Amino acid sequence: MGNQVVIAVGTFILLLTGLLLGYVLSQLVLGFLAFNLLTFLGTLSLILIFGTLYYVLFWQLRREQSRPSLSPNRTIPNQPQEDVSDSYLKNRLIARLSGDTAAAERLIEQAKQTYPGMPENWYCERVLDDLERGQ
């Protein structure tokens, strides 16, 4: 919600600044506004404000698009994939141990004690890597 307010306010200010800048530049080109230090600094400040707002606004939009939106009603889209990869890795480990599920569970538990706090698939990958290296 906060990011949407920033984007809306930034867009409004960007629109107003752009209109004001366009008006001032058109008056300078048509000769209705005298070119002096005051108009030069005013135009320069409008250009800087416009450019800064444009950059910040689109930076904020890019940042919001790159961040996955998680609402309470939605589930994490990668969760089923992780479950599939967990079972896939566990099946690979059991196949590597010639179907010995007890040994696979024992090795995973050993890895959990050695490296606590890691995801389940990490332990399966670790045990598979250790077996491939011959440890």
pLDDT-derived band at 83, boundaries 50, 70, 90: low
Q: Biggest alpha carbon distance in the chain?
A: 89
User: Is the pTM here over 0.85, yes or no?
Assistant: no
At CA 87, angle to CA 86 and CA 89, rounded to 5?
Answer: 65
Question: pLDDT by residue (tens digit) across 88-124?
Answer: 888 888 888 888 889 888 998 998 998 888 888 888 8
pLDDT-derived band at 62, boundaries 50, 70, 90: confident
Has residue 135 got a pLDDT over 80?
no
Tokens 């209109």 sit on residue: 19
Contact of 96 with 128, CB cutoff 8 Å: yes
What's residue 82's pLDDT?
A: 55
What's residue 69's pLDDT?
A: 54
> How many residues in total does the chain contain?
135
Question: pLDDT by residue (tens digit) across 38-59?
Answer: 888 888 888 888 888 888 877 7
To which H or E segment does residue 101 belong?
helix 101-114
